[in-house]
Structure 1
Amino acid sequence: MTATDVSEAAASAAIPASTNVFCNRALNLGGIQAVGFDMDYTLAEYVPETFDLLAYDGAIEKLVNTMGYPAAVLDLVYDPHAYMRGLVIDKKRGNLLKLDRHKYVKVAYHGLKRMTPEERKAIYATSFETAPAFTPPDFSTIDTAFLLVDACLFCQLVSYKDDHPDEVTKSYEQIYRDVRRAVDLCHCDGVIKDAVAVNPAKYIRSDPALATMLTALKQGGKQVFIVTNSLYDYTDVVLRHLLGASWLDYFDLVVCGARKPGFLLDPYLPIFQVRQDGSLENAEIISPQDGARLLQRSRVFQGGNWQHLHALLQLASGSGLLYVGDHMYSDILRSKRTLGWRTLLIVPELRDELLTAEETRHLAAAVDEAYAERAAVEARLQHLEIRRSQLEIDSEVEALLEGDGGAAKAEALSEEERAELLERLGPPHALAELDERIAEARDQQRVLSSALNEALCRQHEAYHPAWGRLFKTGAQNSRWAQQVQEYACLYTSHVTNLVQFAPDTSFRALSDLMPHDRAPPA
């Protein structure tokens, strides 16, 4: 299929929301010289029920056998759907948090136990001056699906420590460090990669559209490359499974062992060329001519930094490069903020989120209706309270007129002013009647607030029983959604969704709206 065919196919039929590409910042693919991809969780979509279990089981074995945790930890069970990206780990307190875009903690768990609103606010909402920044070293964000295993194991061990304080005497912070080290070792010592190499189909989802998408980009005049933290031996295993033995033909350049985010930050990291036998050779890239000469020998490199990449691609500016990845920090935030690369974030959760939104329209309508009903009561309550305040002022004025010297003051009022005052005062029992109406409105407000909370809970649990929607925290965008808006020029549920768009497509963002822009016309 040519790029033109892809464009015509996309134009001839509406693209389903679950496979669409969404735009935060206008981007013209026609002006993009090179399109790069991360590999893990971007080109390669792993099966969490099997792939994550390799890291989880391997980490538990290391925690018990080499780090001194009790044997009972071996009985813990992994739940691949218990957590989501965008959550924040409070290492010192043993908590897991979901924040809104204002960094207000709306959902919090201590280990496996949900914290009450009072417990949560006592720690994270005491005052602006003492509010945490939710940044390292005390906090860690789940920026990638790789870290979901960390979150699950950390929360389980926190609860185990609380239930068995004599068996686990380490601090929550030390538990986090142990979990991080154990999981990381599984990625380095072969526990994960050896199993994938034996049976990649068990751990990686195949996608026949991947080859079509990469071919369309190359036919559209794009340089296509990979920058991955995985080493070449594992990269070869994964891409042979996805694209066949000739997978290198789909790419102009492959950089393995990139050590992102260091690749994007440190201009002094050395680069090596990978020979056909897998051995490494030091590579000197000072000019674009050096890059062209090296590429004639091999398209595969290890390590290096962004300057090497730009020289190899003969790229004049970072704005001519579109990088596609899943890691919010290492792939998207750092490349956009530091180098000005254009970015496309892969959000596999988006597909289910959009499908759930479609299936639960009635719940969203119930929430909107509850908000509207409460707003109407609150508007009436506000009107009644303003009326009562005015009535109190008028009563004080009347008392002054009836007191010493009041006759003279009353004579200063015109007949019209005197009549207006008496009309506002109403009958003697008006204030008492107003108090009754205010009390009734406040009761209605409480009832409707309770109904609204119930409607929000039903909607929240329809997406995830503990954490709700990925992109929302209550009525606000989540902190994760805020980062997507700020740093991802484009985002989509799967990398091959790009196949629906021609290589010269112009993506346009929706108009930004302030609250007053949404207000109905007067």
Structure 2
Amino acid sequence: MPDGFESAYPLSPPLKPQDIRARANSSSKKKRPVVTFLGDEAVEIPDKSEVGIDKPLVRGEVELDSIAVSYNTMHSTTWFDKRVLEHRIFVNRSLHLENVQFYGFDMDYTLAEYKSPQYETLGFNLTKERLVQKGYPQEILEFEYDPSFPVRGLWFDTLYGNLLKVDAYGNILVCVHGFEFLKHSQVYELYPNKFLTLDESRVYVLNTLFNLPETYLIACLIDFFTNSPQYTRTNFGVRCGDLAMSFKSIFQDVRNAVDYIHIQVLKDRTTENMELYLKKDDRLPMFLSRIKESGAKLFILTNSDYNFTDRIMTYLFDFPYGAKPGEPHRNWKTYFDWIVVDAKKPLFFGEGTTLRQVDTKTGALKMGHHVGPMHEELVYSGGSCDVFTDMIGAKGKDVLYVGDHIFGDILKSKKIGGWRTFLIVPELVQELHVWTDKCQLFEQLQDLDVQLGHMYKDLDSSTKEKPDISKLRISIRDVTHKMDLAYGMLGSLFRSGSRQTFFSSQVVRYADLYAASFLNLMYYPFCYMFRAPAMLMPHESTVAHEQRFTFDQPTIDRSRHSSVPTMIGVTDIPSELSSTHSGTDMNKDNKNAVAQTSVPHMRPETPRQLTHTHDEDCSDDDEVAKAPHK
């Protein structure tokens, strides 16, 4: 029986098969999809008249330019019954929670979620004040933070002073100079082929949530200096009499100011008014206790110093009870097996720093470096991934690390540490709202794409007259513009129209899981199998299985057929495919050939079971242990 506290945050009850079947197959003016079942899971099969005979049935969307599934295709799919949207965790690579033995958490913007736009406004104002102290004009204090403008993942080109929204390969999708959105012709003048290479000496990637106020302040300053009458614009900056300022120097001044306020001012202002800047959730102690009860170990790995970490975490765990009502209050440190501060990520995942103990009474570091085993409830500073994992007895894939920083937390922990990764993307709350609320815009864009295809459908290489697609192109641009504005001035974090962004490509590549909050894990059992959707190429996502490919000339049949017994849900092999050479016949031929020759194997035998396990997240040892003995 769950107690009162757990009843307030129940797991989403799964619908019974008969309930889903009754609901889906009930009579309605609008024809509903027929529901069938695979095992205990419900599957909705759309009616072919609604889907369209030339549209495929697929189970999800993973798009990276060439790997794409259209919006209408995705919504004309076979769907398993999903959890409540607000509780969903999204999957790029399959992960079995049962195999996770260590859960690691970042603090800032992960365990500690800062309120938006209050926290960005604080950072914006403090940075302005610092720049004025360093000699910038007083007029910049008049700027106020506008949360509708900045978006994460932009590139700042320090040569021309432009904010760029690019795709995975550096193709420019949006270019903004100050507050001015540059036209195509202007972009081509600066960037031949609308392309820019990611060169660290020229480009700075504004990837983190802490970068949002910085992004907007850069735009404010570029616009101020290039449009104020006392300054003369040059190709690479501005002049005022004998004073010259490059866009790169302006950017560096902003970077220095941001670094200064993060070290000297921002933390104190945050802890002075935590109710204003921090979200507090009473599910946090209960959730961490559930992880420990499952048998896994917990650690916190943060770049923040101990004093700031202690004040923030003490506030987040400041409830009159412990993990549940009736249990005594516990210090936040008792919820973790290991605590590491001053980690200096991403350096932590490389050469690292010296691992030292922290005196929790003073916050000072103890003498020497730590060489023994790591003890619970002690606090450590620095270290490296290799040293840390050795001391706690972890292997790469045993660890699921949860963080918000795509580079410092996710990319480096994945590439160097081999950890499984869970990216926190608070913007998903708005992204999903727009995705569902503005679905008519996505449908309009898909319809326009279909119309564009029809304009060319019956034309071939003998065609002399070009179809007039100018009106369609204008309509596509208009709908795309409306889609972008629904997200904000610079559009979605993940896409620009139908093109995915650089940030989106990093999420797909390095984050095994992602969600709006780490607390979404509460709504999944610790034995859950997160399974990634199929990644379809265009020749798969745009071709229906009902269609038949006609061969112009005979081709070699490369298919092999195993002689294993037919399994439930697996159809028999068609007789025309197995009439000439079955797997058994080929294996007999192979054995006869081996008997007459000294070559050990004349050809590989047909596998009798699945050969790939990359999406099952299990080891060979697990499979052997589960296999029946002969």
TM-score tier after normalising by the smaller chain length: 0.7 to 0.9
Counterpart in the other structure of 1:254: 339
Counterpart residue number, 1:12: 14
How far off is 1:6 after superposition?
12
Structure of greater relative contact order (alpha carbons < 8 Å, 6+ residues apart): 1
Aligned pair count? Answer: 453
1:447-480 Cα offsets, whole Å, 9 max, x none, are: 122122212222222222x222221122122111
SS in 2 for 1:140: strand
Residues 1:461 and 2:485 are matched in the alignment: yes
Q: Does 1:182 align with 2:266?
A: no
Q: Equivalent of 1:83, from 150, 160, 167?
A: 150
In 2, Cα distance between equivalents of 1:82 and 1:171: 24
Equivalent residue, structure 2, for 1:481: 504
* Equivalent position SS for 1:48: coil
State the distance in 1 between where 2:364 and 2:160 align.
Answer: 46
Contact 1:7/1:500 (<8 A) preserved = no
Matches of 2:485 and 2:119, distance apart in 1? 26
Which of the residues 314, 320, 328 maps onto 2:393? Answer: 314
CA contact (8 A) 2:152 2:209 kept: yes
Query: Is residue 2:392 matched to residue 1:334?
Result: no
* Partner in structure 2 of residue 63 of structure 1: 131
Partner of 1:275: 359
**What is the alpha-carbon distance in structure 2 between the residues aligned to residue 366 and residue 98 of structure 1?**
24
Deviations 1:271-320 (A, max 9, x none): 1111231221145444xxx214xx16x521111111232133221x1111
In 2: Cα distance, 1:265 partner to 1:257 partner:
15
CA-CA distance at 1:152 after TM superposition: 0.9
Q: Which residue of 2 aligns with 1:47?
A: 115
The structure-2 alpha-carbon separation of the partners of 1:214 and 1:335, relative to structure 1 and needing over 3 Å to count, comes to same
Partner AA of 2:336 in structure 1 = F
- Indicate the SS of the match to 2:210: helix
- C-alpha separation in 2, matches of 1:284 and 1:5: 46
In 2, Cα distance between equivalents of 1:151 and 1:185: 16
Q: State the partner residue of 1:171.
A: 246
8 Å Cα contact 2:356-2:370 kept in structure 1: no
Write the letter of the residue equivalent to 1:470.
L
Which amino acid counterpart does residue 357 of structure 2 have in structure 1?
A: Q
Query: Are 2:72 and 1:72 equivalent residues in the alignment?
Result: no
The answer to whether the Cα contact below 8 Å between 2:171 and 2:196 also exists between their aligned partners in 1 is no
Q: Deviations over 1:225-264 (max 9, x none)?
A: 1111110111111111111261111111111111111111
Does the alignment pair 1:242 with 2:309? no
CA separation in 2, counterparts of 1:479 and 1:50?
27
2:177 is matched with 110
Once the two structures are TM-superposed, the CA of residue 5 in structure 1 deviates from its matched residue by 10
Residue 409 of structure 2 is aligned to residue 325 of structure 1: no
Cα distance in structure 2, aligned partners of 1:332 and 1:106: 25
Equivalent position SS for 2:117: helix
Q: How far did 1:124 drift?
A: 2.5
**Is the CA contact (8 Å cut-off) linking 1:201 and 1:241 kept in structure 2?**
no
Displacement of 1:169 in angstroms is 3.3
Please report how far the alpha carbon of residue 70 of structure 1 lies from its aligned counterpart in structure 2 after TM superposition. Answer: 1.1
Letter in structure 2 aligned against 1:262: L
User: Which residue pairs with 1:197 in the alignment?
Assistant: 271
Once the two structures are superposed, residues 31-62 of structure 1 have per-residue CA deviations (whole angstroms, 9 ceiling, x without a partner) of: 11111011001111111322222222221111
Contact 1:6–1:499 (CA<8 Å) still a contact in 2?
no
Residue identity in the other structure for 1:157: L
Partner residue, 2:559: none
Gaps of at least 5 residues in structure 2 are 16-81, 232-238, 319-329, 548-630
Greater displacement, 353-362 / 452-461 = 452-461
Per the alignment, residue 291 of structure 1 pairs with: 373
One of 497, 507, 510 as aligned partner of 2:533: 510
**In structure 2, C-alpha distance between the alignment counterparts of 1:285 and 1:88, rounded to whole Å:** 40
1:450 equivalent in alignment to 2:481: no
Deviation of 1:143 after TM superposition, in Å, equals: 1.3
How many Å apart are 1:204 and its aligned residue? Answer: 0.4
Q: Classify 1:8/1:148 alpha carbon distance in 2 versus 1 (closer, same or farther; 3 Å).
A: closer
| Greater radius of gyration (CA) | 1
Supply the distance in 2 between the matched residues of 1:5 and 1:225 (Cα, whole angstroms).
27
**1 CA distance for matches of 2:122 and 2:470?**
50
Aligned-pair distance for 1:90? 0.8
Q: What is the correspondence of 1:413-452 to structure 2 with a 5 Å cutoff?
A: 438=465, 442-443=467-468, 445-452=469-476
Distance 1:223 1:457, change over 3 A: same
- Residue 583 of structure 2 corresponds to none
8 Å Cα contact 1:18/1:355 also seen in 2: no
Task: Report whether the alignment pairs 1:359 with 2:426.
Answer: no
The answer on whether the counterparts of 1:21 and 1:492 sit within 8 Å (CA) in structure 2 is yes
Equivalent-residue separation in structure 1 for 2:463 and 2:538 (angstroms): 28
1:226 match = 300
**Higher helix fraction (1 or 2):** 1
Q: Does 1:93 align with 2:160?
A: yes
Tell me the C-alpha RMSD between the 2 structures: 2.2
Cα distance between partner residues in 1 of 2:157 and 2:398:
38
Give the structure 2 partner of residue 148 of structure 1.
212
Question: What is the CA–CA distance in structure 2 between the aligned matches of 1:281 and 1:504, rounded to whole Å?
Answer: 40
Query: Given residue 375 of structure 1, which amino acid in structure 2 is its aligned partner?
Result: G
Counterpart code for 2:110: T
Q: Is the 8 A contact 1:216 1:503 kept in 2?
A: no
User: What is the TM-score when the length of structure 1 is the normalising length?
Assistant: 0.82
Q: 1:5 to 1:136 in 2, by over 3 A?
A: farther
In structure 1, C-alpha distance between the alignment counterparts of 2:199 and 2:531, rounded to whole Å: 32
Q: Quote how far apart the aligned CAs of 1:17 are.
A: 2.5
Contact 1:325–1:346 (CA<8 Å) still a contact in 2?
yes
CA deviation after TM superposition for structure 1 residue 8, in Å: 8.9
> Does structure 1 residue 124 correspond to structure 2 residue 126?
no
- Secondary structure at 2:244's aligned position in 1? coil
Asked if 1:347 is matched to 2:421, the reply is: no
Equivalent residue for 1:490, pick from 508, 513, 518:
513
Amino acid at match of 2:99: G
Contact 2:386 2:417 in 1 (8 A): no
CA contact under 8 A between 1:212 and 1:499: conserved in structure 2?
no
| 1:324 alignment partner, SS class | strand
C-alpha distance in 1, partners of 2:297/2:192? 49
Letter in 2 for 1:139: V
* Structure 1 residue ranges without an equivalent (≥5): 389-437
**CA offsets, 1:186-242, max 9 Å, x none?**
1111x2111222221110011222222211111111111111111011111111111
8 Å contact kept, 1:260–1:330: yes
Q: 1:47 to 1:7 in 2, by over 3 A?
A: closer
User: Residue 291 of structure 2 aligns with which residue?
Assistant: 217
- Return 22-31 or 159-168, whichever deviates more: 159-168
1:205 counterpart SS class: coil
